[in-house]
Amino acid sequence: MSLELRPLHPLFAAEASDIDLRQALEPSQVSAIERAMDEYAVLVFRNQALSQTEQVRFAESFGPLDLGLRKLHGGAAHRLDYEALIDISNVAPDGSLAQRDSRKVVSNIANQLWHSDSSFQQPKAQYSMLSAVVLPSKGGETEFADLRAAYDALPDDLRGEIAGLEAEHYALHSRILLGDTNYTAEQMATIPPVRWPLAQIHPGSGRPLLFVGVHAREIVGYSLAEGRMLLSDLLEHATQREFVYHHGWQVGDLVMWDNRSTIHRGRRYDLTERRELRRSTTEDLLPVRMVA
């Protein structure tokens, strides 16, 4: 099966065509996409206006789906037809524009900090698929940074220092950074922090990668201050312009990324305009391998 691939960046990311994601995929198509993901880490499919049902079916071809932070708000009103579709929008459940100070908008803004989806939980996320439904007139692009290129470019001393180190990731850290601190003790405990090695081997390509992002709040065995400073330096390193693919959205785009080998962030936009995307995400069920 041929999946047509056109690189979008010197290091990673490709536009994938010659496939209709609205149809149930053949096993050979699923493996062609998996192979392309192992190589490129970000695939852009244009003109694929999937229905919600089609998006869930497409996502389920790659494994069980993750609900992300929705488990904190169990039973809360949801605008989409499936629990497993994550509403990446500034729209309230009743269809009106969400209030600027609402948790919904805070969560949109939290997505503007560099992160890997669900890195705050076990299992974390493998693939995310984000489909654009309504876009603002400007802004609201999404950027992706290549964590394998970031590892390759680490100076030897830093590579040596992070070998064997683990970072602790916590679900509410990004929210707390943005001033959204009003959580019950029960909510704070719903998703306990998890630890991931800073230097990991990407299972599909065998390449080492630097696993950082905003959910990481400390380095195990370091003082809080020293750990946060190192995390912030590593994140700055990983997100240098030459490691970043910038995606300008068109309605009907579906962008699929590997959360193990990339981090991403949304860009600012005018919150009085609607921006509606739908995300489906699969769980990363493979054991995480540390760089020896």
Name the site residues for Mn ion (rule: CB under 5 A).
117
> Pairing mode, if any, of strands 125-134 and 262-266?
unpaired
Nearer to ligand OGA, 219 or 238 (CB): 238
* Tokens 């090695």 belong to residue: 197
Q: Which does 208 bind (CB under 5 to 8 A by kind): Mn ion, ligand OGA, none?
A: none
Q: Which does 255 bind (CB under 5 to 8 A by kind): Mn ion, ligand OGA, none?
A: none
Asked if 263 and 119 touch (Cβ cutoff 8 Å), the reply is: no
Q: Which of 99, 113, 125, 84 is nearest to 173 (CA)?
A: 113
Q: What is the SS3 assignment for 280?
A: strand
Residues from 96 through 125 that contact ligand OGA (CB under 6 A): 111, 117
Q: Is the peptide bond before 64 cis (omega within 30 degrees of 0)?
A: no
Residue 51: Cβ within 10 Å count: 11
Residues from 255 through 274 that contact ligand OGA (CB under 6 A): 264, 266
Q: How far is the CB of 279 from ligand OGA (least distance, A)?
A: 4
Asked if 195 and 169 touch (Cβ cutoff 8 Å), the reply is: yes
Tokens representing residue 237 in the block: 């390193």
Residues from 136 through 165 that contact ligand OGA (CB under 6 A): 142
Residue showing the smallest CB distance to ligand OGA in the complex = 266
Asked if 147 and 212 touch (Cβ cutoff 8 Å), the reply is: yes
Q: How far is the CB of 111 from Mn ion (least distance, A)?
A: 5
Residues from 52 through 91 that contact ligand OGA (CB under 6 A): 88
Q: How far is the CB of 265 from ligand OGA (least distance, A)?
A: 6
Q: How far is the CB of 262 from ligand OGA (least distance, A)?
A: 11
Tokens representing residue 247 in the block: 């995606």
Report the interface residues with ligand OGA, using CB under 6 A: 88, 111, 117, 128, 130, 142, 264, 266, 277, 279
